[in-house]
Structure 1
């Protein structure tokens, strides 16, 4: 437990919040539009499992421009 007290939470917490916001926005977008470059379910797994880079990849490569 002493290791947790030594973690610089003021540096890590903004990254965790950014990750959660990006994941939520990407999941809401993919559920609303359902038009993706590639399989729909694959992008959901990439968003959920690839942590911070997954939503960024979705917005760059996966989202189909209308």
Structure 2
């Protein structure tokens, strides 16, 4: 338990917040549009499981442009 006290939370917290925001925005976007380049469920899994990079990959490659 003393190891948690030694974690520099002031450095890690902004990254965790950024990850959460990216994931929520990507999931809301994919649920609203449901038109993706590739299988829908694959993109949902990538967004949820591949931390910060997953939502970024979705916004670059996964969104289908009108």
For residues 39 and 12 of structure 2, the distance between their equivalents in structure 1, rounded to whole angstroms, comes to 33
Q: Which runs of 5+ in 1 are unaligned?
A: none
TM-score by length of 1: 0.98
TM-score by length of 2: 0.98
Shift of 1:36: 0.3
Partner of 2:58, secondary structure, is helix
**Divergent runs of 4+, >3 A:** none
How many residues of Structure 1 are paired with residues of Structure 2 in the alignment? 66
Partner of 1:7, secondary structure, is coil
Query: 1:32 — aligned with what?
Result: 32
Cα RMSD of the aligned pairs, angstroms, is 0.4
